[in-house]
Amino acid sequence: MFNSLKPKPCWLHKCLSTSGPSSKPHHYDLLLISSLKSAATHCSISHGRITHCLVIKSGFASNPFILNTLINMYAKCGFLQDAERLFSSSPNLDPVSYNIMISGYVKSGRFHEARSLFDQMPKKGCVSYTTMVMGFASKGYWREAIWIFKEMRYGGILPNEVTLASLISACSGFGGISICRMLHGLAVKVILDEFVIVSTNLLHMYCVCGSLKDGRDLFNQMLEKNVVSWNVMLNGYAKAGDVELARELFEKIPMKEKDVVSWGTMVDAYVQVDWLSEALTMFCAMLREGVEASDVMIVDLVSACARLSATLEGFQLHGRIVKAGFECYDFVQATIIHFYAACGRVDLAYLQFEVGVKDHLPSRNAVIAGYIRNGMIEQARRVFDEMAERDVSSWSSMIAGYAQSEQPNIALELFHEMIACGMQPNQITLASVFSAIASLGMLNEGRWALEYVQNNCIPLNDNLSAAIIDMYAKCGSINAALEVFCQIREKASTVSPWNAMICGLAMHGDANLSLEIYSYLERRHHIKQNSITFIGVLTACCHAGLVELGEKYFKRMKNVYNIDPGIKHYGCMVDLLGRAGRLEEAEKMIMSMPMKADVVIWGTLLAACRTHGNVDIGERAAENLAKLEPCHGGGKVLLSNLYADAGRWEDVFSVRRAMQNQRVKKSPGYSGVLLVKAGIVDLIKRRTDDMTLAIGDDVGVGICGWEGRQAVMASDFAMGQFRFLKRLLLVHGHWNYRHLGYVILYNFYRNAVFVLM
């Protein structure tokens, strides 16, 4: 009677203070028990201790039931020492006493004491084993829970529905479909499969294992379904991205069974596949049914609006947030800032930051990320410098911002400053660091960064692995890139590392190996290819001259993988057809493109026309190129050379005069070569000319005009800009620069960048 009423401690103590063992002996013990249970429920240790005093005063301290209730009260209130003292001093311990103490140990994370006490139990029953299995499973100790269940079975003790449900929950953490089916068979064998708690946990395990068909079969066979069962099956479809089946199941849920979780699952299912219109329609239908939205649901919708730049819908959701009073939540404020920044409304993002809690770290990080997203790196740095406290996200955003804004040197400086401050970088930080290193081509810095990753035991996820592979490829060490790829290939769950390796090999001209790796990727059906994959594949085909194979992959993009070709894919195909001399087909492809051709594509076609001597198509390509970029010197030089090859000298002079009148110049390109010190020293001994060079202060600013050539060189001591001119005084007196200049002039072609390793 008293348990069903669940009286509060204040009411009980008023009742107990006006009654005693002499006045109402027939129910006073029940009042004490109810008071202790209420204190345990409300974690009210003060009321529990007062009741304990009344227990001692009334002479009920030796009552086994009251004693167990006392132990339970202290354990649930977190006072395990008091519970242990009562447990140790009791002469009449029963299995309930042991179960209460074991449960208290498990809930407080003291698993060693729980196991030790469990092993000391003179007689273990189903409840004892269930307490252990349920406790270990709830804390994530799945293997220990399974081991205890095995002991239970070996002891000949049949599990109950709670035991089996806890075991199934434990196995959901790591078990595969075979374990799931085995547990399903066990549930049928011990006639527990009809309990809704068991069948629902089995259903959840099938969904976690990805076996939705088995899960749906079990769901259809369930004699009893509750709201949890419906939501578990619905969530399984939603997580798998099967929105149509999720919607079909949602329509079958009885209206009285639909709760905020059911509606939220459907909204989230639409959000995950970026069906924003359907998600908002479902959200409005939920509100019409009188179901209030949660803060998490609205945040998911706002995040979807940010991804799709749905400004109007985001405005409306912001109004709903204000109306519901969610704007005061810090994580909601950060999401709103992110939304406005993603939609290009940095002014509103900063205004939201100003009216909110300014010392909230995620909000400041959202402002920094918003500035960086919109190319406002200086404003982002100003907010970053004003931060009294920074976390790894703050540093990562700034480092990524500098790397993406073509300021890799500052990105690396900030990374070293981050380490000096004692902040541990994460995988996102390091991916940006390797990207910056790749931009600079600093192989030694890349090796140091990888050594840092290994020494600090930072696990390689797919994005970080791809960044390392890309760094090695762009720094010229393709073998090291292959070594890293081979180490992580079997663990990769996304296409990023494969893309980095395929594109890296294609960039190095190893088309055969690049296409061989792609063939391995095609056999891994669980890895979804993307547009970058086919850029690497088409580039490899282009370098190898595999026109038919390139056309095959270009068609498979859309027909097999449902990937719409972008302008870079069309550029690869134009280059491929142009190299093969199929210029008419290349021009036809350009004219049929769904987007407007850019300078690169017309320049590629013009270069192919010069190679194959096709003046007619070359003139049309040059005309379109001039429309897009009138001062494009490279295009005019190509057209001039095309006319020269055809013997049309008047047209050559006409193009050259036009270039002079428009003051158009073409800067010569350059490539990079690594010099080894031992070889340089040997070459220096053989150089006797009195050639000198001038050294400037800038680094890597490009190639000089017609009067000279420049190259960028890195020695042990400095980075310098070099322009080679005869009989100039040496500006910098260090012998390294003089001798390296001799080596470059003596051994290599002009227009090359040389880096000392």
CATH code at 617?
1.25.40
> Which of 644, 666, 688 is a domain's end point?
666
Residue 679 and residue 595 share a domain: no
Task: Please check whether residue 208 lies inside any domain of the structure.
Answer: no
* Parent domain of 707: 671-756
Structural domains in the chain (count) = 2
Residue 704 and residue 645 share a domain: no
Residue 571 and residue 634 share a domain: yes
Residue 683 and residue 657 share a domain: no
Task: Please check whether residue 364 lies inside any domain of the structure.
Answer: no
Alpha helices, DSSP H only, in 309-374?
311-324, 330-342, 346-355, 361-373
Phi and psi, residue 249, nearest 5°: -70, -40
Residue 708 and residue 645 share a domain: no
Task: Please check whether residue 691 lies inside any domain of the structure.
Answer: yes
Residue 680 and residue 647 share a domain: no
Task: Please check whether residue 85 lies inside any domain of the structure.
Answer: no
635 exposure class (CB count in 10 Å sphere: 0-12, 13-18, 19+)? buried
Task: Please check whether residue 425 lies inside any domain of the structure.
Answer: no
Task: Please check whether residue 220 lies inside any domain of the structure.
Answer: no
Q: Which pLDDT does position 15 carry in this prediction?
A: 54
Rounded Cα distance between 635 and 607, Å, is 8
294 exposure class (CB count in 10 Å sphere: 0-12, 13-18, 19+)? middle
Residue 676 and residue 662 share a domain: no
Is residue 75 within 8 Å of residue 96, measured between CB atoms? no
Residue 576 and residue 592 share a domain: yes
> Which of 666, 683, 705 is a domain's end point?
666
Q: Which pLDDT does position 95 carry in this prediction?
A: 80
Q: Which pLDDT does position 756 carry in this prediction?
A: 36
Is residue 75 within 8 Å of residue 37, measured between CB atoms? no
364 is written with which tokens?
Answer: 């400041």
Residue 694 and residue 607 share a domain: no
Strands 719-724 and 693-696: antiparallel
Q: Which pLDDT does position 83 carry in this prediction?
A: 81
Give pLDDT < 50 ranges for the chain.
1-11, 20-25, 670-757
142-154 and 161-171 helices, crossing angle to 10°: 140
Task: Please check whether residue 707 lies inside any domain of the structure.
Answer: yes
Q: Which pLDDT does position 693 carry in this prediction?
A: 34
Alpha helices, DSSP H only, in 565-648?
567-579, 583-591, 599-612, 615-628, 633-645
Q: Which pLDDT does position 748 carry in this prediction?
A: 38
State the DSSP code for 155: T
Q: Which pLDDT does position 396 carry in this prediction?
A: 93
Closest Cα partner for 205 from 163, 168, 162? Answer: 168
Residue 686 and residue 655 share a domain: no
Task: Please check whether residue 572 lies inside any domain of the structure.
Answer: yes
> Which of 637, 666, 695 is a domain's end point?
666
Q: Is the dihedral of CA 258, 263, 266, 268 positive or negative?
A: negative
Residue 720 and residue 693 share a domain: yes
177 is written with which tokens?
Answer: 């479909």
Residue 728 and residue 688 share a domain: yes
Strands 693-696 and 752-756: unpaired
